[in-house]
Amino acid sequence: MKKLLKGGVIVGASDCRKADLLIDGERIEAVGAALSCPEAEVIDVSGKLLFPGFLDAHTHFDLEVCNTVTADDFYTGGRSALRGGTTTVIDFACPNKGETLHTGLARWHEKADGKTGCDYGFHMTIDDWNESIESELDAMFDAGITSFKMYLTYPAMMIGDGAVYRALKALKVRGGIAGVHCENAGVIDARIAELKASGLGADVVSHPISRPDYLEAEAVSRLLRIAQAADAPVIIVHTTNRASLDEIAAARRRGQTVYVETCPQYLALDDGVYYDPDFSSAARYVCAPPIRSQEDSEALWKALRRGEVQTISTDHCSFMLEQKDMGRDDFTKIPGGLPGVETRGEVVYTVAINENKLSLGGVCRALSENPAKLYGLYPRKGVIAAGSDADIVVYDPGASHVLHGADMLSKAGYTPFEGFRTNGGVSKVYLRGQLQVDGGKVVGGKMGEYLKRGKCAL
Ligand code: MN
């Protein structure tokens, strides 16, 4: 059965135009003015904005971490994503140290296959480097994994500078790319010890104090110099602050290729959240890197406008408040991460449009087109055009609602954006032509498919 979405405004990265949209099965058949198709079901979307389904290239579903497991698995995380207009997630497959990449990949397929309502791909985490891991890389590309993740912090996952250098070179020759978590591990650990020794170990504020912006910028700078030596492109994931952006600008002036991701929590919140005297109210915002100052958030918006930051992902890594409670006596035991996959589109749209931070096209680029290009899914995903997957977000710019944790599909049970009034709202979501969300409710099933991705084309 064909579907004809009539009367909407098609949002693209470079233009918005009034046009009808004809869907045949899983694909978009045509986009144009006054389309007609007698056998199609006609859906009136007049007054609505039609975005290409949002891609969230940074989620952690069903992840064992911090002596617990994330609240959302691929089922609840997928529903939560869909409701927020996200039709594709790219999650991080994570072998444990000493395991093969194949083991990690098989485990992530087990977690995800047949269990989720949105399409999904995997990045592969490289938390060890040796000949045997290098020998697995070609098989990873064959499996549709073209992007990798490395950590400059977290003992369970971090690898040394030499390993990062070797891995970047090995990825480059295969046309792959790595996203890197940049924070200085050693100095942060020393500061944590100092804070604990001075009796501040139970204070949530010790979290941002132990991980200041400049220790993120130091790691960004070091990574970029390693990438210079390796002559390889890199992605800086979850970038939070101006000092890091300065390091990125310097590397670009040297001629390096650097892609930058940020997240809604760094764009729409500030570090005041950590100063709430109530433990639970403050602990819910603990994530790494931490939420920064308002000036940093301004710098990120400016960089988005200038195209210096390409993507907005969530780093969705959800924990219930009971899990956050594990750190009541020791802030380093608060599981780090925020839920966000359900609210990203509406929060970004609202701040972008209400405060003139970013154009509609800019929102489309950051949420859909750029992640699709960067992670090898374009033009199947990330654009409303004939031949592309019929992943469509029907966004009602006339709607408005207030975000409440109790209403979320995420199992976290809270939202970092509690009380946030949205401008507009996700009304319907189609994934490959199937209605997955209607009137803000998830109505579809576990139709999500694994996506084999191509190479970076941004
Ligand atoms: Mn992450």
Task: Read off the pLDDT of residues 81-121 as tens digits, 9 standing for 90 and up.
Answer: 999 999 999 999 999 999 999 999 999 999 999 999 999 99
| Residue 227, CA atoms < 13 Å, CB-side half-sphere | 29
pLDDT score, position 16: 95
Q: How far is the CA of 65 from the centre of ligand 1 (A)?
A: 11
Reduced 3-state DSSP string for 275-315: HCCCHHHHHCCCCCCCCCCHHHHHHHHHHHHCCCCCEECCC
**CA atoms 148, 151, 156, 160: torsion sign:** positive
Q: How far is the CA of 287 from the centre of ligand 1 (A)?
A: 9
Nearest alpha-carbon partner for 408 in 328, 322, 329, 339: 339
Q: How far is the CA of 410 from the centre of ligand 1 (A)?
A: 17
Q: How far is the CA of 25 from the centre of ligand 1 (A)?
A: 34
Nearest alpha-carbon partner for 450 in 86, 23, 116: 116
Question: What is the mean pLDDT of the segment spanning 27-56?
Answer: 97
Q: How far is the CA of 238 from the centre of ligand 1 (A)?
A: 8
- 281 band by pLDDT with thresholds 50, 70 and 90: very high
pLDDT score, position 86: 98
Nearest alpha-carbon partner for 320 in 99, 66, 142: 66
Q: How far is the CA of 439 from the centre of ligand 1 (A)?
A: 30
Return the residue matching tokens 């040796």.
130
209, pLDDT greater than 90: yes
Contact 432, 26 (CB under 8 A): yes
Which protein residues have a CB closer than 5 Å to ligand 1 (ion)? Answer: 315
pLDDT score, position 239: 98
Instruction: Tell me the three state secondary structure of residue 121.
Output: strand
pLDDT score, position 26: 98
What tens digit of pLDDT does each residue of 253-274 get? 999 999 999 999 999 999 999 9
Q: How far is the CA of 314 from the centre of ligand 1 (A)?
A: 8
Q: How far is the CA of 262 from the centre of ligand 1 (A)?
A: 11
Q: How far is the CA of 58 from the centre of ligand 1 (A)?
A: 6
Instruction: Tell me the three state secondary structure of residue 92.
Output: strand
Q: How far is the CA of 387 from the centre of ligand 1 (A)?
A: 32
Question: What is the mean pLDDT of the segment spanning 28-36?
Answer: 97
Q: How far is the CA of 360 from the centre of ligand 1 (A)?
A: 26
Q: How far is the CA of 110 from the centre of ligand 1 (A)?
A: 20
Q: How far is the CA of 2 from the centre of ligand 1 (A)?
A: 39
pLDDT score, position 268: 98
**Which amino acid appears at position 191 of this protein?**
R
With 0-12 / 13-18 / 19 or more C-beta atoms within 10 angstroms meaning exposed / middle / buried, residue 39 is exposed
**Which amino acid appears at position 270 of this protein?**
D
pLDDT score, position 237: 98
How large a percentage of the chain has pLDDT more than 70?
100
Q: How far is the CA of 123 from the centre of ligand 1 (A)?
A: 11
Contact 223, 182 (CB under 8 A): yes
Rounded to whole angstroms, the Cα distance separating 56 from 67 reads 25
H helices, E strands: number in the chain: 16, 21
Q: How far is the CA of 12 from the centre of ligand 1 (A)?
A: 28
Q: H/E element holding 10?
A: strand 9-11
Rounded to whole angstroms, the Cα distance separating 339 from 318 reads 4
Instruction: Tell me the three state secondary structure of residue 22.
Output: strand
Query: CA separation (Å) from 346 to 352, 396, 435?
Result: 10, 10, 19
Q: How far is the CA of 274 from the centre of ligand 1 (A)?
A: 20
Q: How far is the CA of 386 from the centre of ligand 1 (A)?
A: 34
Q: How far is the CA of 286 from the centre of ligand 1 (A)?
A: 13
Q: How far is the CA of 337 from the centre of ligand 1 (A)?
A: 8
- 156 band by pLDDT with thresholds 50, 70 and 90: confident
Contact 61, 77 (CB under 8 A): yes
Q: How far is the CA of 156 from the centre of ligand 1 (A)?
A: 14
Question: What is the mean pLDDT of the segment spanning 157-178?
Answer: 97
Q: How far is the CA of 1 from the centre of ligand 1 (A)?
A: 39
Rounded to whole angstroms, the Cα distance separating 391 from 204 reads 41
Rounded to whole angstroms, the Cα distance separating 53 from 369 reads 9
155, pLDDT greater than 90: no
- 45 band by pLDDT with thresholds 50, 70 and 90: very high
Instruction: Tell me the three state secondary structure of residue 26.
Output: coil
pLDDT score, position 1: 87
Q: How far is the CA of 315 from the centre of ligand 1 (A)?
A: 5
Backbone angles phi, psi at 212, to 5 degrees: -70, 165
Paired tokens of 453: 């991705």
Radius of gyration of the chain (CA): 21
pTM: 0.98
Q: How far is the CA of 264 from the centre of ligand 1 (A)?
A: 13
Nearest alpha-carbon partner for 345 in 272, 396, 292, 407: 396
